[in-house]
Amino acid sequence: MKPTPCPSCQQTMVKQRFERLHHGEVILDLCFHCQGIWFDEFESVQITPGGILELFKLIHQHRDDQRLPLRDPLPCPRCNERLLHGLDVAKHGGRFNYYRCLQKHGRFTTFAQFMIEKGFVRQLTVAEIETLAARVGTVRCNGCGAPVDIRKDHACGHCRAPIAILDPAAVEQALARYQQAEIKRTTPNVEMLADAIVMREREKSQRQRERKLDTQDTIDLGDLIVSGAGMVWNLLRH
């Protein structure tokens, strides 16, 4: 597998495997020096809820690592063209930024911005920023690492990332949300399975009638059981 250089520090990124929705796996490229992730196109939405939890744990393990500031510009690790800075609104609230390839090879985002995107991090209110500004004055942007004078600005002047914190309540809610989603994803739905078995046998009977091999308009219960057993086995095996 071809190594992926980090768009910022150019060191080889670490490949991590996570389970993919609808079978298979997603192989992400991570740079712990810059605390960044490279997603090939659509990879960020193909990770299972359980995979997101695994990635969160991995990010948490490296929370105290020394972080290098992001360089500017950032080249695409696939085509070397300049990555375009973008802002988006997370599904669970809050804005996050990233750097995307115009040739649709993928996007680069920092650990912190990924956590905003997935709902683990909460953005500070204006009142909270003003209270913090009275104590510290300047903070480092969690999007690009640049210094932000929060006495004057409520977002990074370089990448426009908002001021955000790792809020225990937000983490707890996100963990519960992804855990429930993973349980739902991996638990067989009995009603849907039963409907699928009946539908499968109806389609089978229809094909048989069309071939004039069977003129009955009923479903054989024995066929239902055999067909259902096969579908349940395939479901449990995956």
Q: What is the pLDDT of residue 106?
A: 96
21, 39: one domain:
yes
Do the Cβ atoms of 105 and 78 come closer than 8 Å? yes
pLDDT tens-place string over residues 176-188: 888 888 888 787 6
pLDDT tens-place string over residues 26-48: 999 999 999 999 999 889 889 99
Residue 5 in any domain: the answer is no
82, 20: one domain:
yes
Strands across the sheet containing 106-110:
14-19, 25-31, 36-40, 106-110, 95-100, 84-89
Do the Cβ atoms of 118 and 147 come closer than 8 Å? no
Return all residues near 34 (Cβ < 8 A) that are at least 6 apart.
Answer: 6, 8, 9, 67, 68, 70, 110
Domain boundary among 153, 168, 185: 185
Q: What is the pLDDT of residue 211?
A: 65
22, 89: one domain:
yes
Helix axes 221-237, 190-210, angle to 10 degrees: 130
Do the Cβ atoms of 4 and 38 come closer than 8 Å? yes
> To which residue do tokens 């908002």 refer?
162
65, 127: one domain:
yes
Domain boundaries, position 226: 190-237
pLDDT surpasses 50 at 224:
no
120, 197: one domain:
no
29, 111: one domain:
yes
Residue 46 in any domain: the answer is yes
Name the domain count of the chain.
Answer: 2
Residue 7 in any domain: the answer is no
pLDDT tens-place string over residues 135-170: 888 887 776 777 888 888 878 777 777 777 666 666
